[in-house]
Structure 1
Amino acid sequence: MSTTEQAVLFSCAQETQVGILSLPAEQAQVGVVIAVGGPQYRAGSHRQFVLLARRLATAGYAVLRFDYRGMGDSSGSARDFLDASPDIAAAINTLHEHAPEIRSTVIWGLCDAASAALLYLQDTKDTRVTGLCLLNPWVRSETSLARTQVKHYYIQRVMQRTFWTKLLSGQVAWGALKGLARNIRLSKAASPSRGAGDLPFQQRMANAWTDFDGRILLLLSGNDYTAKEFLEYADADTAWSKALKQARLERHDLANADHTFSNRLAQTTVENLTLDWLATTSNAIK
């Protein structure tokens, strides 16, 4: 299927955002907004978002990838995922303006873009969004990081003979053991409370996940501390444990993939899984 690609400019809080719109030759029923994670712009690591958008458009989906305010070619001051809801709203509005035949929208996000997608839904309850593609969601806290490091780094490290050889020979400072002790102490700390006051962003994400009645695709990398930290956090939190058991969730663990799915096999696998899941989502809204 042939596609067209064009740059679009749109406004958000008196600033100008830049996006790239990829459209199929025929009218699309489903649109995909690719949100950006971290200090990144619309191309993505190793042109990941470019390749994904073009393949999705070829399969018949309308796709918009864009720069947050203050990032890439968009104007304004830089901001992080906690303040990205207005940017995502402006992008969804723009996609629907250029492809008014769209009946539903999916947000696709990697790392803290996955987090931003959930926070957007909690902030807006946008009924146009019927699906979420979430890759290695970001739930970083001091406690969750410590738990992940203890389980997936320190325990394996102290079990290695080379570690003790280097320690006793002075090649590894005793500070490494102090670091282990500190992380063990932090790992046993309680997760942030859901009591009075503003909820931690991780709990806001969990609430949005639970309240969302659309479909969710969750892709997790096996060779990635962000994904491991997400699973550690979910295992220790009742709301997240419940969320990961929901029937509308489709989860895939890519054992050998890194954080950004940087090799071609991992990239193609992500594209294929996204397309297969989108086909199911598209059938559900017909």
Structure 2
Amino acid sequence: MIYQERAVTFVCQEERLVGVLTLPEKPLGRGVVITVGGPQYRVGSHRQFLLLARQLAEAGVPVLRYDYRGMGDSEGKPRAFEAIEHDLRAAIDLFYRELPILTEVVVWGLCDAASAALMYAFQDSRVAALALANPWVRTPEGLANTMVKHYYGARLTRPEFWQKLVSGKINFAAALSGLLNNLRKRSAKEPQLEASCAFPERMAAGLEKFRGRVLFLISGRDLTALEFQEAVKSSPHWQRALRRPQVEWRRLEEATHTFSADIWRTQVGRWTIEWVKSW
């Protein structure tokens, strides 16, 4: 389907934000808002968000991607992902103004943008669904547990590791120090966190309160994705929040964190399109 792209600006708490609308010739009433995560802007790593927006628009799905305050071309000071709820709300406001046929939106986020979407969505009735790629739940204990289980454990079972160790190609002291350090972090009890800082729990609580559909997109070769899966396995709160029919999962075993290969990006786009048009 033919589509057009148009740059837009809008205001969030007296600061100017920049975005791009990708609008098909005959748009659906359900649009996708792509929120950036990490130190990047609306184009995305290796043009990921730009290509995703165009792929969706070719299928009739209108898209807005934007820079929140302090990122890309938007004004303001850089801010943590836990503090972008006003930016996301302003972006959705803009999307509705620019495309009056909209009836609901899907928020699509990668990494800490997925985390931010989970903490926001239940507060906005216009958000009907979330597409969440490799959500960020990092804590010192969570990272240490994942490293011990999936990195050190996997290395010890590989013959090439022992060959390198015997031949002196691996610094045994450094490797042992790293393992022991992660074991200490894994077993340490973290001080009680303030509610405003315990973002993984806020994510789980947000998911529990959100009544819409959720699609998790998981990479098989990604430490962040592994941390998320381990957090879910060890948390009754997460398991309870996920125990409903509106939650779906898609997994690409060979994919990296940002789905960096063209075949992975294209598959993620296909899954997103099929899911967005399934209700």
Q: 1:117 to 1:174 in 2, by over 3 A?
A: same
Q: Is the Cα contact below 8 Å between 1:105 and 1:130 reproduced in 2?
A: yes
For residue 266 of structure 2, what is the aligned residue in structure 1? 268
Q: Is the Cα contact below 8 Å between 1:167 and 1:174 reproduced in 2?
A: no
Q: Percent identity?
A: 47
Q: Is the Cα contact below 8 Å between 1:24 and 1:57 reproduced in 2?
A: yes
For residue 246 of structure 1, what is the aligned residue in structure 2? 244
Return the offset for 1:270: 0.3
For residue 24 of structure 1, what is the aligned residue in structure 2? 24
Q: CA RMSD in A?
A: 1.9
Work out the CA distance in 2 between the residues paired with 1:150 and 1:131.
Answer: 34
1:210-229 alignment, distance < 5 Å: 210-229=208-227
Q: Is the Cα contact below 8 Å between 1:166 and 1:172 reproduced in 2?
A: no
Work out the CA distance in 2 between the residues paired with 1:85 and 1:72.
Answer: 17
For residue 178 of structure 2, what is the aligned residue in structure 1? 179
Work out the CA distance in 2 between the residues paired with 1:85 and 1:192.
Answer: 27
For residue 77 of structure 1, what is the aligned residue in structure 2? 77
Letter in 1 for 2:85: S
SS at match of 1:177: helix
Deviates more, 1:220-229 or 1:23-32: 23-32
Q: How does the TM-score come out when normalised to structure 2?
A: 0.94
Work out the CA distance in 2 between the residues paired with 1:261 and 1:73.
Answer: 24
Work out the CA distance in 2 between the residues paired with 1:162 and 1:113.
Answer: 37
Work out the CA distance in 1 between the residues paired with 2:191 and 2:217.
Answer: 25
Return the offset for 1:154: 0.6
Work out the CA distance in 1 between the residues paired with 2:60 and 2:116.
Answer: 26
Q: Which runs of 5+ in 2 are unaligned?
A: none
Q: Is the Cα contact below 8 Å between 2:130 and 2:213 reproduced in 1?
A: yes
Return the offset for 1:83: 1.0
For residue 159 of structure 1, what is the aligned residue in structure 2? 157
Return the offset for 1:170: 7.3
SS at match of 1:239: helix
For residue 257 of structure 1, what is the aligned residue in structure 2? 255
Deviates more, 1:185-194 or 1:233-242: 185-194
Return the offset for 1:243: 2.7
For residue 91 of structure 2, what is the aligned residue in structure 1? 91
Return the offset for 1:153: 0.6
Deviates more, 1:23-32 or 1:218-227: 23-32
1:230-241 alignment, distance < 5 Å: 230-241=228-239
Return the offset for 1:219: 0.7
For residue 120 of structure 2, what is the aligned residue in structure 1? 120
Work out the CA distance in 2 between the residues paired with 1:246 and 1:192.
Answer: 32
For residue 138 of structure 2, what is the aligned residue in structure 1? 140
Q: 1:197 to 1:215 in 2, by over 3 A?
A: closer
Deviations 1:6-37 (A, max 9, x none): 00000111111100001121243111100001
Work out the CA distance in 2 between the residues paired with 1:208 and 1:197.
Answer: 13
Q: 1:192 to 1:126 in 2, by over 3 A?
A: farther
Work out the CA distance in 2 between the residues paired with 1:211 and 1:164.
Answer: 49
Deviations 1:30-63 (A, max 9, x none): 1110000100100001111111111212222221
Deviates more, 1:54-63 or 1:7-16: 54-63
For residue 13 of structure 1, what is the aligned residue in structure 2? 13
Work out the CA distance in 2 between the residues paired with 1:232 and 1:22.
Answer: 36
Q: Is the Cα contact below 8 Å between 1:210 and 1:243 reproduced in 2?
A: yes
Corresponding residue pairs, total: 278
Q: Is the Cα contact below 8 Å between 2:119 and 2:207 reproduced in 1?
A: no
Deviates more, 1:78-87 or 1:220-229: 78-87
Deviates more, 1:48-57 or 1:140-149: 48-57
Return the offset for 1:190: 5.1
Return the offset for 1:71: 1.1
SS at match of 1:107: strand
Work out the CA distance in 1 between the residues paired with 2:197 and 2:192.
Answer: 8
For residue 42 of structure 1, what is the aligned residue in structure 2? 42
Deviates more, 1:198-207 or 1:268-277: 198-207
Return the offset for 1:191: 7.0
Letter in 2 for 1:175: A
Work out the CA distance in 2 between the residues paired with 1:52 and 1:192.
Answer: 41
